[in-house]
Amino acid sequence: MRDGTLMAQGFDLSALSLAGEPRPIADGVVVSVGILQLLPRAQFSASANMLVYSSATQAPVQHLTWVDRSGIAAGTVGEPDLYSGPRLSPDNRHVAVTRLDARTRNGDIYVFDLEGQQWSRLTFDPADDIFPIWSPDGRYIAYRSSRNGKIQLIRKLSNGAGQEEVLFESDNRRLFADDWTADGKSLVLSQIDLKTNSDLWILPLEGSRTLAPLVQTPADDPRARLSPDGRLLGYISSQSGRMETYVQPFPSLDGKWQLSESGGNSPPQWQRDGKELYYSSSGSLWAKAVVSQDPFVLGPARRLFTEPPTQRGSFPAVSADGTRFLYSVDLVQLAAPKFNVIVNWAGDARQP
């Protein structure tokens, strides 16, 4: 895909390299964007003589919507657009979010001032800039970018001033920054490994910036969040045979508690004072009170509400007092998809 168009280019098998110039094949190809899939996926498949792709007349549109503890909509943020992964600043005065270009599905980071009710754009590179996370002091936003054939983790002052700083660079296209440690000195990352699937890693931001394994198991451990005081690591894992939500002490990882019981599709998030945590399971948002920090004791699970329609795997942002949850709510669903077939697609005469 290039700027919303499906392209084809020759390939030289003997030289194992691209040959000739790319040429357009089809426009209007559906591109799905899901947080658990992590990367946009164009819906097409090709054989030697035939190509099929999915198209639709409408694209999904989201509105950043506050939901109270009973599941009732309690206001919106900004205007409807294509949004992903809202994150509240530590002082709860700003929202950082990925906004997607309607045609290319490339993302950029925007910040919304909740008091001034206005947007500011943080990234301008043509590359995909997605998944913003705030530093503990709110001065910086770190995000993932795909530039120059590499995946980069970048930070920039949250007010937009100054230059970007590349924190880490990798060839691993399934590399993502999940959270910032409470002392601001490290990032918790997730990346895929061919032997152990998705794992969690720690990246020191000082010294050599060498990745070290944090949670590395044969299961999928794809997403994580830290508690506000930095003493607990919450994450999702398939170690039981399906995705569930877990909490472990951090950084020691000495002990483990399972939160969800019937599947968990989001890492837990905490109330700012750490007295309650929240997680998604079976289409609902659940809460557990933190009865004691030392030793760590949780109260019984309480179902708060059925979650609104969102991108699969999209997580809400939680207000500091735990009374509101900011979702990227789907307003327009895709129309029934149409499957288009192009025969002899590699030849000069393409006949749909």
Tell me the mean pLDDT in the region 270-298. Answer: 93
Query: Do the domain assignments include residue 352?
Result: no
Q: How confident is the model at residue 32 (pLDDT cuts 50, 70, 90)?
A: low
Is residue 91 domain-shared with residue 202, that is, in the same domain? yes
Range of the domain at 102: 61-332
Tell me the mean pLDDT in the region 304-314. Answer: 82
In the block, which residue shows the tokens 């918790």? 188
Q: Which residue has the higher pLDDT, 201 or 4?
A: 201
Count the alpha carbons within 13 Å of 1 in the hemisphere toward its beta carbon: 20
Counting the structural domains of the chain, the total is 2
Give the Cα separation of 40 and 253 in Å (integer).
33
Count the alpha carbons within 13 Å of 17 in the hemisphere toward its beta carbon: 4
Is residue 161 domain-shared with residue 31, that is, in the same domain? no
The pLDDT tens digits for 229-243 are: 999 999 999 999 999
Specify the pLDDT at position 100. 87
In our burial notation (b when 16+ CB lie closer than 10 A, e otherwise), range 207-233 reads: eeeebeebbbeebbbbbbbbbbebbbb
Q: What is the mean pLDDT of the chain?
A: 88
Tell me the mean pLDDT in the region 69-77. Answer: 95
Query: Do the domain assignments include residue 349?
Result: no
Is residue 40 domain-shared with residue 145, that is, in the same domain? no
Tell me the mean pLDDT in the region 52-69. Answer: 83
Tell me the mean pLDDT in the region 160-184. Answer: 93
* 229 token code pair: 């005081």
Is residue 198 domain-shared with residue 339, that is, in the same domain? no
Residue 155: which CATH number?
Answer: 2.120.10.30
Query: Do the domain assignments include residue 298?
Result: yes
Specify the pLDDT at position 55. 79
The pLDDT tens digits for 242-265 are: 999 999 999 999 999 999 988 988
Q: Is the pLDDT of residue 214 over 50?
A: yes
% of the chain surpassing 90 pLDDT: 62
Is residue 233 domain-shared with residue 110, that is, in the same domain? yes
Q: Which residue has the higher pLDDT, 336 or 118?
A: 118
Give the Cα separation of 117 and 64 in Å (integer).
13
Nearest to 127 by CA among 102, 139, 109: 109
Specify the pLDDT at position 332. 66
- Residue pair 233/249 in contact by the 8 Å Cβ criterion: yes
* 170 token code pair: 């990798």
Is residue 92 domain-shared with residue 206, that is, in the same domain? yes
Query: Do the domain assignments include residue 111?
Result: yes
Q: How confident is the model at residue 268 (pLDDT cuts 50, 70, 90)?
A: very high
Q: Is the pLDDT of residue 37 over 50?
A: no
DSSP H or E stretch at residue 277: strand 276-281
Is residue 70 domain-shared with residue 186, that is, in the same domain? yes
- Residue pair 6/53 in contact by the 8 Å Cβ criterion: yes
Query: Do the domain assignments include residue 257?
Result: yes
Tell me the mean pLDDT in the region 286-304. Answer: 93
Q: How confident is the model at residue 312 (pLDDT cuts 50, 70, 90)?
A: low
Is residue 123 domain-shared with residue 41, that is, in the same domain? no
Query: Do the domain assignments include residue 268?
Result: yes
Is residue 143 domain-shared with residue 17, that is, in the same domain? no
The pLDDT tens digits for 122-143 are: 999 988 899 999 999 999 999 9
Query: Do the domain assignments include residue 350?
Result: no
Give the Cα separation of 77 and 94 in Å (integer).
10
Is residue 102 domain-shared with residue 199, that is, in the same domain? yes
**Beta strand 212-215 pairing with 223-226:** unpaired
Specify the pLDDT at position 217. 87
Query: Do the domain assignments include residue 348?
Result: no
Is residue 196 domain-shared with residue 88, that is, in the same domain? yes
Is residue 101 domain-shared with residue 240, that is, in the same domain? yes
